[in-house]
Structure 1
Amino acid sequence: MFAIEDELHGEPGAEFATRDEAMAELQRLATLPWDEPPNRAPCMSWETCGRNYSVVEYDQSCTPWRQCSVIPMIEMSSKGVKWLA
């Protein structure tokens, strides 16, 4: 299972069966304004903050799930979108 998570705010996001599905969602998020949901940061200083989206792979065969990998993908702020990978 793959998830998109905001590493800056420790916020879990949507879950996907494949990495390709997660990447498609990241591409969609990158086209949306940084200061509007779902990209608007949840903190009080959102105007000077942003989001750091990562794709996280989990092994669901054990409880609790085991994190297999974390790949930082996007830094998003008022400065724009920066793809990391």
Structure 2
Amino acid sequence: MFVIEDEWHAEWIGEFSSRDEAIEELKRLAELSWDQKPNLCPCTSWRTCGRRYHLVEFDTAGEPWRSLSDEAILEVSAKETAWLQNTDVKG
């Protein structure tokens, strides 16, 4: 299973059965304004804050789930929307 997680607020944004589905959601998030849900931050300083989306892969075969990978993919804020690293997921 793949999870999009906002690292800065420790929020899961969604669970996906494939990497491709999660990537499509990240592309959608990149197109949304920083001040609209789900990009809108839950904190009181939301106007100056942002989201840092990670794509986390879990092995869900056992309990507790085991993390297989964790990649910082996308940052969204009032300042900018930025794809991170040399990722190949850009729209």
TM-score by length of 1: 0.97
Aligned to 1:78: 78
Q: How far does residue 63 in structure 1 lie from its aligned partner after superposition?
A: 0.3
Q: Is the aligned partner of 1:13 residue 2:13?
A: yes
* Gapped regions of structure 2 (runs ≥ 5): none
RMSD: 0.6
Moved over 3 A (4+): none
Q: How far does residue 61 in structure 1 lie from its aligned partner after superposition?
A: 0.6
Q: Which amino acid aligns with 1:17?
A: S
Q: Which residues of 2 match residues 6-85 of structure 1 at below 5 A?
A: 6-84=6-84, 85=87
Equivalent position SS for 1:61: coil
TM-score by length of 2: 0.91
Equivalent position SS for 2:27: helix
Q: Which amino acid aligns with 1:59?
A: D
Matches of 1:68 and 1:17 in 2, distance apart? 14
What is the aligned residue count?
A: 85
Percent identity, aligned pairs only? 53
* Gapped regions of structure 1 (runs ≥ 5): none
